[in-house]
Amino acid sequence: MNEVMEKPRIAFFVPSLTGGGVERVTLTLAGAFAAAGYPVDIVVTRAGGDYEKEIPAGVTLHVLQPTGILRSRWLAWQAGTVPVAALLRPVLLPIRSSRILRHIAGLAAYLQKNRPAVLVSGMSYPNLVALWARQRAGVPVRVVVVEHNTLSQTIRRVRFRWRWRYLPPLLRCAYRRADAIVAVSHGVADDVAATTGLPRSDIRTIYNPVVSPELARAGDARPEDGWFAPGMPPVLIGIGRLTSAKRFDVLIRAFAIMRAQHEAHLLILGEGRERKRLEALVCQLGMQEDIRMPGFVDNPYRYMSHADLFVLSSDYEGLPTVLIEALACGCPVVSTDCPSGPREILDAGAFGELVPCGDDEQLAAAMARTLTAPPGRARQRARAQVFSIEASMQHYREVCFGG
């Protein structure tokens, strides 16, 4: 039997491969395990995501088929891993339940057919589905649940807050059945423990796998954009889904304040439901000539490598991959001091200014100061090595396989 087949199969479960930080981390980690000779599957609930064409060699994609929501609620109840009282408000009663719940049976069928040794899931509701699917499948699979965001902030700000506000007791009961609980930063781990009541000692922090030689090479090519031509004004960039949590409205207003004193351009890369509102704000501020929003791009690293400043304006994060990627590309950065991640990534401000969330004026001032006196790019790149793929891979190997 060859070496590849001797190694145990590992599966990663996420809702989709639509462009986003969790999805990017999943692809990176899956690729690292595949390169190390493990059979690897990525299991999703819907096809057609932006990242599907980037699935690494040696990784197989599985798309689950949904069942009816009433049957899915029954399956969650039938799993019997948590008290019915904990299920009522976040799962059984809401008129609009999380769509991911419709894939309990599909994931269970995948587990029975493919028999991975380990299933790694990410985000709260998918984590619940992973645990319930294992119970239904009745097969010996180790389940590792990963929290990528600050749970307390998600509960307060997410859509359908009515069901989310009752989620912590359910997570406390369900996560006790997980073989390992992972958080992507110490801040996220502290928050999960405080929000759910789980012992902090039960939650392990593993930083996301971000930095690789391939990332650096992807940033070599200059963007085919006139704003990046030699002699042009400085270019600032923001990258992420256009959602309310990312607060690109704050970035746009801060840029307008700074632009009154400093010639510059702002490029916002990403797509999302906030696009129309953000475009209206750009027009309202008269910034159409200086702010562009071209949407999702396949290779954001070349923009990071050649931009003069990267800005993270979020109200909350987990461990923002995009901030680490900017450091890895040598880009100067400014970030909100949001929970959680930026403070850990930037070593309490040593590698980029931290400003209060939602403060246009302070963000504008920090952006201007950094453009005037940018840090050395080699120093930024060195800091990013803390978040290397190799380091993260080793920690996940220990959690998944014990070494």
- What is the residue extent of each domain of the chain? 3-208+389-401, 213-387
Nearest to 14 by CA among 155, 108, 130: 130
Phi, psi of 143 (to 5 degrees): -110, 125
Which pLDDT value is given to residue 80? 67
Which pLDDT value is given to residue 160? 57
Outline where 160-209 has alpha helix (H). Answer: 161-164, 167-175, 186-196
Our CA dihedral for 49, 53, 54, 55, rounded to 10 degrees, sits at: 90
**Coil/strand/helix, residue 121:** strand
The per-residue DSSP string of 309-340 comes to EEEE--S--SS-HHHHHHHHTT--EEEE--SS
Nearest to 98 by CA among 108, 87, 109: 87
Angle at 301 between CA 298 and CA 302, to 5 degrees: 95
Which pLDDT value is given to residue 362? 99
Which pLDDT value is given to residue 155? 86
Q: Which CATH class is domain 213-387?
A: alpha beta
Query: pTM of the entire structure?
Result: 0.86
Per-residue pLDDT tens over the stretch 247-264: 999 999 999 999 999 999
**Sole residue written with tokens 């990242």:** 51
Per-residue pLDDT tens over the stretch 284-333: 999 999 999 999 998 999 999 999 999 999 999 999 999 999 999 999 99
**Sole residue written with tokens 């009961």:** 173
Q: Are 264 and 327 in contact (CB under 8 A)?
A: no
SS3 content of the chain, % helix, strand, coil (to 5): 50, 15, 35
Q: Which residues are within 8 A (CB) of 384 and not within 5 positions of it... i.e. 6 or more apart?
A: 210, 211, 324, 325, 327, 328
Which pLDDT value is given to residue 156? 81
Residues of the chain with pLDDT under 70: 1-5, 80, 158-162, 403
Which pLDDT value is given to residue 4? 44
d(CA 403, CA 397) in angstroms, rounded, equals: 6
**Is CATH 3.40.50.2000 correct for 3-208+389-401?**
yes
Nearest to 260 by CA among 124, 395, 361: 361
E-assigned strand segments in 104-211: 118-122, 142-147, 180-183, 203-205
